[in-house]
């Protein structure tokens, strides 16, 4: 290599200015190792540029370095354990252990989360089932009550066949005279249209005197379609009419669905 031509090319000036690529820098470095005169030229260029840039510096306050020092000392205090040179094996082991621990923790956390979600789900299901059970128990109690009423020999059973307006309609009254209760079984009556309600009447036949026993409101909600009403009358017959909501004082006879007399 013609080292004089190399120096004259101006590459060393660019090298000092930092205007070369990483690859070119590495090439220059190799040349400098072999050619002391090139290295000497680099030193001269550097010194000149340092003189030039140093000449441009404003007067520098003496406190700057102490400020830098306090900054790096603060930093150093924080980083001492990390920057101290040690065998890297324990560090790797420590890292690996930390990562494993982290992964483990993470997995446990995830599991925990899943389990919690499962627990909540199960609790909700349990509540639902408990609710269903309660409903079923209530149903059972009601049904048992009804059964015991039907089996009671003291109770008077009065069938109420359908009338002209709906011959397929059917109802029955179970009258417990001693406790003055009547059970009205209306499973055979059609669901009343909106705004209408069935009303139960106790009748005296001679002369015909109707007395309202009550209205069968919430017809839909009563699953057994058996209503319990009070009856203090000396009834001779029972009738059920369809009345406007709230009931009527006198039965609307055109809307008489079922009627049955007591055989005595």
CA distance 228 to 143: 13
**Dmax over Cα atoms in the chain, in whole Å?**
147
Residue closer to other proteins (CB basis): 71 or 152: 71
Stretch that binds other proteins, among 54-62, 209-217, 224-232, 238-246 (CB under 8 A): 54-62
User: Does the protein bind other proteins through residue 76 (CB under 8 A)?
Assistant: yes
- Do the bridges between strand 170-176 and strand 181-188 make them parallel or antiparallel, or are there none, so unpaired? antiparallel
Q: Cis omega before residue 60 (within 30°)?
A: no
User: Does the protein bind other proteins through residue 82 (CB under 8 A)?
Assistant: no
User: Does the protein bind other proteins through residue 50 (CB under 8 A)?
Assistant: yes
User: Does the protein bind other proteins through residue 136 (CB under 8 A)?
Assistant: no
Q: Could you tell me the smallest distance in angstroms from the CB atom of residue 113 to other proteins? A: 41
Residue closer to other proteins (CB basis): 28 or 229: 28
User: Does the protein bind other proteins through residue 54 (CB under 8 A)?
Assistant: yes
Burial 71-103 (b: 16+ CB within 10 A, else e): eeeeeeeeeeeeeeeeeeeeeeeeeeeeeeeee
User: Does the protein bind other proteins through residue 52 (CB under 8 A)?
Assistant: yes
Q: Where are the alpha helices (DSSP H) in the chain?
A: 3-8, 11-17, 22-34, 36-56, 63-83, 88-151
User: Does the protein bind other proteins through residue 55 (CB under 8 A)?
Assistant: yes
Site for other proteins in 8-47 (CB under 8 A): 8-11, 13-20, 22, 25-26, 28-29, 42-47
- Would you say 163 and 177 are in contact if contact means Cβ atoms under 8 Å apart? no
Size of the site for other proteins (CB under 8 A): 47
Would you tell me which residues interact with other proteins (CB under 8 A)? 8-11, 13-20, 22, 25-26, 28-29, 42-61, 64-65, 67-69, 71-72, 75-76, 83
């Amino acid at each position: 290599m013609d080292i004089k031509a190399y120096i004259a090319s101006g590459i060393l000036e660019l090298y000092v200015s930092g205007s070369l690529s990483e690859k070119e820098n590495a090439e220059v470095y190799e040349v400098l190792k072999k050619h002391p005169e090139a290295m000497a030229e680099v030193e001269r260029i550097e010194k000149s540029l340092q003189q030039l840039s140093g000449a441009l510096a404003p007067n520098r306050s003496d406190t700057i370095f102490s400020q830098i020092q306090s900054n790096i000392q603060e930093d150093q205090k924080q980083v001492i354990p990390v920057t101290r040179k040690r065998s890297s094996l324990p560090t790797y082991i420590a890292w690996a252990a930390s990562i494993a621990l982290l992964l483990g923790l993470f997995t446990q956390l995830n599991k925990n989360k899943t389990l919690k979600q499962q627990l909540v789900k199960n609790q909700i299901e349990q509540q639902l089932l408990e609710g269903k059970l309660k409903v079923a128990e209530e149903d059972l109690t009601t049904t048992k009550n009804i059964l015991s009423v039907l089996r009671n020999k003291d109770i008077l059973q009065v069938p109420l066949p359908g009338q002209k307006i709906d011959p397929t309609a059917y109802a029955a009254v179970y009258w417990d005279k001693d406790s003055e209760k009547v059970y009205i079984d209306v499973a055979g009556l059609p669901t009343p249209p909106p705004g209408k309600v069935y009303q139960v009447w106790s009748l005296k036949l001679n002369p015909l005197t109707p007395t309202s026993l009550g209205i069968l409101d919430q017809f839909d909600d009563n699953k057994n379609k058996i209503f319990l009403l009070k009856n203090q009358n000396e009834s001779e017959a029972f009738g059920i009419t369809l009345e406007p909501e709230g009931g009527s004082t006198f039965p609307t006879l055109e809307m008489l669905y079922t009627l049955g007399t007591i055989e005595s």
